Amino acid sequence: MSSLTDLDWPLATERLVLRPLEPDDLDALWAYRSDPRINEWTGRSPRDRDELLVAFFSPEALAQTLVMEHAGEVVGDLMLKTTDAWGQADVADRTAGVEVELGWTLAAAHQGRGLATEAVRAALGICFDGLGVRRVTAGCFADNEPSWRLMERLGMRREGHGIEECLHRELGWVDGYLYALLASEWRSRPTTHGP
């Protein structure tokens, strides 16, 4: 299995350029990650630049984060976290690093134009065609409708509905959704799939 550092960067899509997060991106990331509208549903919600530094710029976090540039400006980020599948102990050597957990955030000013969908579509391509994993997953709060609508737009399947499984800082214990897509499904998708 490859890692993000093995791939060629940057990657251009129709309207975006994707590339690994770099230390110099701190101010650009803070500009939209400090927006309360963005932090309502995110897993990592840094309260200041120091927390942002710890959460996004550790070697481990840098290795699994891409930024989306639009017209030369960083407008969002993607997490591609390689994970192990579950398996029986005697075959566990075949479960290591075969999945990616995806995450995404797009600056509020750039939402509503399909840019996040475009970025996540490219991320699925990176996962399946570049990293060679067999399954991609993503989770969200059930009330984060823009996020699960995005996944359904891209053909990801809702595979789990956890009742009161996630703790939200204001809402308490609330429902969560798990979505997934297999490499075989990605390869057999209609070429015109999605917007």
Chain positions contacting ligand COA, by CB under 6 A: 38, 41-42, 103-106, 111-117, 140, 144, 146-147, 149-150, 195
Least distance in angstroms from the C-beta of 121 to ligand COA: 9
Position with the least CB separation from ligand COA: 114
CA pair distance 134, 154, nearest whole angstrom: 17
Angstrom CA distances, 122 to 12, 46, 151, 173, stand at 9, 26, 13, 32
The β-bridge relationship of strands 99-106 and 135-141 is parallel
Residue nearer to ligand COA on the CB measure, 97 or 114: 114
Structure tokens given for 85? 């599948």
Residue nearer to ligand COA on the CB measure, 112 or 132: 112
Least distance in angstroms from the C-beta of 91 to ligand COA: 31
Least distance in angstroms from the C-beta of 37 to ligand COA: 7
Least distance in angstroms from the C-beta of 41 to ligand COA: 4
Residue nearer to ligand COA on the CB measure, 62 or 178: 178
Contact 38, 101 (CB under 8 A): no
Residue nearer to ligand COA on the CB measure, 82 or 117: 117
Least distance in angstroms from the C-beta of 133 to ligand COA: 19
CA pair distance 51, 35, nearest whole angstrom: 14
Angle, vertex CA 94, rays to CA 128 and CA 78, nearest 5:
35
Residue nearer to ligand COA on the CB measure, 92 or 173: 173
Q: What DSSP letter does each residue of 48-77 carry, written as one string?
A: SHHHHHHHHSSHHHHTTEEEEEETTEEEEE
- Hunting for tokens 């429902």 — which residue is that? 175
CA pair distance 79, 101, nearest whole angstrom: 8
